Amino acid sequence: MTESLQNVYKDRCLHVLPPFLEAQGYFSSQPYKPEKRSEAFTMSSIIVQPINASDLGLGALVQNIDPAHMSEEDFTVLRNALYTHNVICVKSQGKLTPKDQAELTRRFDPAALSYGHGKTIDAKRSVLHPDLKTIPHQPEVQVIGNGFLPEYEGLKNITLRHPHHRTFHKTVIPDAQDLDYTRFYRWHIDAALYGELNPPLVTSLLAVKVPGGRRQTVLYDDGTDDVLDVPLGTTAFVSGYKMFDNLTLKQKDFALTSKVEYAPHPYVWISTTKSRPDGLGMVSEGKEVRINELPPIENENDIQILPMVWKNPVTGRFALQIHPSVVRKIHLEDGTVIDDLAKVREIVHDMQRPAIAPKYVYAHDWEEGDLVLFNNHGVLHTVVGAFAENEVRVFRQCNLAASSPPLGPIASSS
């Protein structure tokens, strides 16, 4: 490890929290009202209530806020809450318009341009294609969910399909148990990971219609007995910061100094492969779409090579942020490239799996009107669960390709 990186590592890993955040009680389980302790909190009446145990670092309710009409002071508090708790929820936002949602999402990155995935290339083969419907008058906002909708925001007679693990996993839960037991569908970062589209900073999710009542049990089915009881149709989150903190010292050195290369047209590339049962990456069977059978690679620079570790812009903490399904190669500090795909996947899975253990997962219990914002540079997330055909679920999702690439650990040393 280089000397400058050692200093960054020492500085950021041992003293990860700015004193003002600790002073504000961000890590207690008690609600708090930010006080006039710094410029950032002046005049704000926002209340931030952590949802989970403080060491999870995931989840807070934000109250006394109107996300469509926020002062700069309020927005600063909201942004600090987001980057501290990584997943935040504002209740009762059913009246938020798609335009409001897009503008709120853009406030985190005013120079951001298009929807985070841009225009899907080769939609017929991409694994992303079936899951999204674009709102015609607000193309940064997508509708996702389950069931038939005669009309919604200019979309007519649409059928939404909640992604089901049987379409994506190598092994499946038998049909007879399908309503009781389920899987994590696909742990991921919201990102195109190709071309000029940088991973979005923030994703917003609005629960428009939520079928309620049932609970399901997530089976990891990965040789462990791990299971997790979750609400129907939860979105599950894990912390990239916890993922980094859980690494051995050797793995941390490796992660801080290595980069990952993603496949060209990554979501087409994996369209002929199947996932591990824990949703954390693909099974290696040599079934990926061959590079010469992908859509053309117009520019070699379109292939994204990103740091493994991304820095939180508020707390300075490091998150292990790797999209496990579409990673293809690992670039080491000395210039060596690991291009044995099975080996790459094993290395990444070994680093990520401890942090999706049941005790580290936050499974959001959706209620209609919930507006959830998450730090897409600091968490992995996945849809979960299987709906019956008559269970209608409608969500709106928005993210924007970031105006700059993720902050890596080496860049932060300058």
- The smaller minimum CB distance to Fe ion, of residues 240 and 316, is found at 240
- The smaller minimum CB distance to Fe ion, of residues 190 and 261, is found at 190
What's the chain's length in residues? 414
- The smaller minimum CB distance to Fe ion, of residues 190 and 391, is found at 190
- The smaller minimum CB distance to Fe ion, of residues 256 and 372, is found at 372
Q: How far is the CB of 188 from Fe ion (least distance, A)?
A: 6
Q: How far is the CB of 162 from Fe ion (least distance, A)?
A: 13
- The smaller minimum CB distance to Fe ion, of residues 84 and 382, is found at 382
CA 328 to chain CA centroid, nearest Å:
19
Q: How far is the CB of 176 from Fe ion (least distance, A)?
A: 29
Is 267 a binding residue for Fe ion by CB under 5 A? The answer is no
- The smaller minimum CB distance to Fe ion, of residues 190 and 370, is found at 190
Q: How far is the CB of 190 from Fe ion (least distance, A)?
A: 4
Check: CB of residue 352 under 8 Å from CB of residue 120: no
Q: How far is the CB of 250 from Fe ion (least distance, A)?
A: 31
Check: CB of residue 233 under 8 Å from CB of residue 214: no
Q: What is the rounded distance in angstroms from the CA atom of residue 309 to the CA atom of residue 324?
A: 14
Size of the site for Fe ion (CB under 5 A): 1
The residue with its CB nearest to Fe ion is 190
Q: How far is the CB of 87 from Fe ion (least distance, A)?
A: 12
Antiparallel, parallel or unpaired: β 379-383 and 227-231: unpaired
- The smaller minimum CB distance to Fe ion, of residues 276 and 323, is found at 323
Q: How many CA atoms lie within 13 A of 51 on its CB side?
A: 22
Check: CB of residue 9 under 8 Å from CB of residue 252: yes
Q: How far is the CB of 124 from Fe ion (least distance, A)?
A: 21
Helix, strand, or coil here: 98?
A: helix
Q: What is the rounded distance in angstroms from the CA atom of residue 118 to the CA atom of residue 105?
A: 16
Candidate ranges 25-33, 154-162, 186-194, 287-295; the one touching Fe ion (CB under 5 A): 186-194
Nearest to 348 by CA among 282, 285, 268, 257: 282
Q: How far is the CB of 205 from Fe ion (least distance, A)?
A: 9
Per-residue contact flags (x/-) with Fe ion for residues 145 to 184, judged by CB under 5 A? ----------------------------------------
Nearest to 37 by CA among 26, 21, 15: 21
Beta bridge partners of 238: 380
- The smaller minimum CB distance to Fe ion, of residues 193 and 256, is found at 193
- The smaller minimum CB distance to Fe ion, of residues 330 and 379, is found at 379
Q: How far is the CB of 263 from Fe ion (least distance, A)?
A: 18
Q: What is the rounded distance in angstroms from the CA atom of residue 372 to the CA atom of residue 142?
A: 15
Query: What is the layout of strands, in order, in the sheet containing 362-364?
Result: 362-364, 235-239, 379-383
Rg, the chain, Cα only: 20
User: Which residues from 187-226 bind Fe ion, rule CB under 5 A?
Assistant: 190
Question: Which residues have C-beta within 8 Å of that of residue 304, sequence separation ≥ 6?
Answer: 193, 194, 195, 261, 262
Cβ neighbours of 114 (radius 10 Å): 14
Check: CB of residue 306 under 8 Å from CB of residue 331: no
User: Which residues contribute to the site for Fe ion (CB under 5 A)?
Assistant: 190
